[in-house]
Structure 1
Amino acid sequence: PLGTRSKLVHISAGPIESPKNELINLVFEFSRNIQIYTEYEGLHIDILHSHYWLSGLVGDLLSESWEIPHVITFHTLAKTKSRALPVGDEHTSRSASEYKLMCRSDKILVLTQKEVQDIDQLYGSFSNKIAVVPPGVDLEMFHQTDKDAARNQLNIPRQNNVVLFVGRIDPIKGLDVLVKALSMISSVEDTTLYIVGGNEESNEYYRSIKSLVVEMRLDDKVIFTGAIAHDNLAAYYSAADVFVLPSHYESLGFVVIEAMACGTPVVASRVGGIPSIVEHGSTGYLIPWRCPEAFATQIEVLLKNKDLHSFMSKEAIKKAYSLSWDASSKKAADLYGEVISGSINTQVI
């Protein structure tokens, strides 16, 4: 839920069904529509904070037009994605646009120290304008609840082992690794994998995962739920025995924090910002890339060892509760104040 002093505004630009690779053509229209809205409402903006590169391009235009500072958070960068998974559908101008935005923005807000390293190695030194603000989790929405109650709510048999994935059905998420890992689990007959995320038939990768499930003869062991509303995800996290994120790359992985807040141990790739959240052997396990055997081993360890599972569940909750939105939002607000103050002082000089 939004804070009492927050407002969500929908700004239109272009056709609703615009392909992803054509969204860059709507940047000027979108920024202009934002200007029209602010003028109509009589709003005075002190600072902009944009997320991802396309919104960053919009923020850059507005920052120049309004002569106010611009903070940007990239979340995932083109060069880190291509390094992790060379084949992709990123726009050809993305990495160049990201570099331009790093140069022109007043501050780059990142969520983990790993992002600082990635920017330094792949884009150049911007340490003078980078600030690390760890993320938070909505502890009112995501907290541990009774597993049997959650399973009853979702019509999941109580006696089954439940492995859960939440996220986009996208090659960067490494779902093929998870399906292969499931086939290697000795208790697979008593285990069900729930894949929560969009499942459009037009998605080529989704079709390939469905085919892999059939090939592995796991048709009755893998359930694709489709997209689930964010405020309904807590029931899935609570119903699960293990949460798995086998991504090739994640700048952070918010779903990991949400799962941990619900007391579900995590098995995840040792990539990107995930190691800053998952403590190997304490809140879950970190696995090398492209290694279904290792994923299968650690998933099975958690499914079979109830005492270990209970320990990791408690540690996961402790870790998640140290990442509150209150602490994160205060750090972000302090950063905004510093940037605005610095901008005013610069203009005075």
Structure 2
Amino acid sequence: MRVSHFNTATEGGAAVLMQRLHQSLQNIDIESQIYYRKGQSSLSPSLSLEFISTRSKQWQERIVLRLENELLQQKSNLFSPLQSVVKTPLPSTLAIVDIYHLHWISHWLDLPSFIQSLPPRSPIILTLHDLGNLTGGCHLYSGCHGFENICSPCPLIKYPFNHFLAQQELHRKQHLFSSRPVHVVGNSNWTTSLAKASAAFQGVQSIRTIYPAIDIQSLVRHDKAFAKKLLGISPQKLVLGFGCAELTDGNKNFPLFLQLLARLKDDIEPEAVVFGNDLGLTEQPPVPIHSLGKLTSSHLLSIAYSAMDVFVMASQTETFGMVAIEAQACGTPVCAFAVGGLTDAVQHEQTGFLAPWGNINLLSDHISQLLRNSSLRTQLGQTAHDWARRNFSLEQMRDAYLNLYREALKSQNT
């Protein structure tokens, strides 16, 4: 079996999961190839594909990206169609494979011309890492379910474009995805439920959930006192954790984490361990914050998670929540809002606590309860460690995708 994976960049959550799957398939002698647009990859075989070869095409893309941004009512979401002014057929010089697996492909592939260039009966696997592929163009969930019918009027886009742009995109996706053997994968049961309700996927071959995986071998649970010492923190201190790729990402809600620290500082006097780009504090934080910057090493992530007594997620929406699984795999319970796929990633009252979205009082109470009760914290941490490692291994993810590949190829030949 030969599989080709496509992802716009070599960094980010979607890229990490694609690379893990790629390597896991290679470990069982499946021929797997990676294609991407931005970044660098040390994995083999991998190839950068850039379809914009002239200055005029570069300007066309910049203008379109600028227009997409200007069309938004608010900048907290992302809108992008899967059709581009630059056509991106797969070069005929590349080998034909059995499975074409698409991950996060926005701002790279023009899907109509790309799919048209593939062998007509070749199965296409479409993994959803956000909502961009199932809606009329928006990537983050905002409570709108217009994608279930016509996506009009779109609350994200300015008038008068809100009456037709998203609607046209949704109709285009429905036609495109029903014209080929497409199989959709949600990264959580919540994402899958939205995919099944989407008009874009009414004609696809199948829709199912396959959870992302962690690298169990590289994520190590360290003794918390030892991890705290490594980070220059007193072992007696209680530590709250927070982490994401970009701390300025409004969806991740880092300012709310600072509010939680302020609520807890007088009674518990915690410290905080934070990782991610651009901490950018404009005033003195309520408690000492140990900022680790961007962490790409599993070794450093393991130390960071292990030093935390409670990991906090204040996100407004998540299709899954990989950092929650990573923290739990290192024996740290998680407190979060019960949004999106986080209800799959955290087991309420077993591996952490979930609070209804926006209920900061209850979230704060959950965190306080764990920080004050060391035996409960230890119990939930151990359950979290065992559960995460038992349910989110690379082998489980690989085998689930391998079963899908085989089913897709079997249906192709019937």
Q: Which residue of 2 aligns with 1:174?
A: 253
Alignment of 1:144-293 (within 5 A): 144-167=221-244, 168-169=246-247, 170-187=249-266, 190-199=269-278, 210-211=281-282, 214=283, 217-218=284-285, 221-231=288-298, 232-293=300-361
Q: Is 1:118 the counterpart of 2:194 in the alignment?
A: yes
Letter in 2 for 1:229: T
Instruction: Name which of structure 1's ranges 21-30 and 163-172 shifts more when overlaid on structure 2.
Output: 21-30
Instruction: Using CA pairs under 8 Å that are at least 6 residues apart, name the structure with larger relative contact order, 1 or 2.
Output: 1
Offset of residue 319 of structure 1: 1.3
Q: Which residue of 2 aligns with 1:326?
A: 395
Q: Is the 8 A contact 1:53 1:98 kept in 2?
A: no
TM-score (norm 1): 0.79
Instruction: Name which of structure 1's ranges 64-73 and 155-164 shifts more when overlaid on structure 2.
Output: 155-164
Task: Give distance in 1, aligned partners of 2:186 and 2:368.
Answer: 34
Q: Is the 8 A contact 2:174 2:201 kept in 1?
A: no
Identity %: 22
Letter in 2 for 1:51: H
Offset of residue 28 of structure 1: 7.7
Offset of residue 119 of structure 1: 2.5
62 and 337 in structure 1: CA distance in 2 versus 1, 3 angstrom threshold: farther
2:91 partner SS: helix
63 and 69 in structure 1: CA distance in 2 versus 1, 3 angstrom threshold: farther
2:242 partner SS: strand
2:408 pairs with 336, 339, 344, which one? 339
Task: Give distance in 1, aligned partners of 2:125 and 2:386.
Answer: 31
268 and 47 in structure 1: CA distance in 2 versus 1, 3 angstrom threshold: same
Q: Is the 8 A contact 1:12 1:30 kept in 2?
A: no
What number of residue pairs does the alignment pair up?
326
Q: Is the 8 A contact 2:270 2:287 kept in 1?
A: no
Letter in 1 for 2:243: V
Instruction: Name which of structure 1's ranges 105-114 and 77-86 shifts more when overlaid on structure 2.
Output: 77-86
Q: Which residue of 2 aligns with 1:35?
A: 91
Offset of residue 330 of structure 1: 0.4
Q: Is the 8 A contact 1:184 1:293 kept in 2?
A: no
* Residues 99-157 of structure 1, C-alpha deviations (whole Å, 9 max, x = no match): 56654561101122212222344546648520222332211012312223323333333
192 and 9 in structure 1: CA distance in 2 versus 1, 3 angstrom threshold: same
Task: Give distance in 2, aligned partners of 1:194 and 1:100.
Answer: 47
286 and 99 in structure 1: CA distance in 2 versus 1, 3 angstrom threshold: farther
Task: Give distance in 2, aligned partners of 1:20 and 1:188.
Answer: 52
Offset of residue 263 of structure 1: 0.5
Instruction: Name which of structure 1's ranges 77-86 and 310-319 shifts more when overlaid on structure 2.
Output: 77-86
Q: Which residue of 1 aligns with 2:140?
A: 81
21 and 185 in structure 1: CA distance in 2 versus 1, 3 angstrom threshold: farther
- Aligned residues: CA RMSD: 3.5
Offset of residue 234 of structure 1: 1.5
* Residues 190-232 of structure 1, C-alpha deviations (whole Å, 9 max, x = no match): 3222331121xxxxxx65xx34xx2xx5265234432111423
Q: Which residue of 1 aligns with 2:370?
A: 302
1:72 pairs with 126, 133, 153, which one? 126
Q: Which residue of 1 aligns with 2:74?
A: none
26 and 76 in structure 1: CA distance in 2 versus 1, 3 angstrom threshold: closer
Q: Which residue of 2 aligns with 1:45?
A: 97
TM-score (norm 2): 0.68
340 and 284 in structure 1: CA distance in 2 versus 1, 3 angstrom threshold: same
Q: Is the 8 A contact 1:177 1:291 kept in 2?
A: no
Structure with the largest fraction of helix: 1
Q: Is the 8 A contact 2:261 2:287 kept in 1?
A: no
Task: Give distance in 2, aligned partners of 1:332 and 1:20.
Answer: 35
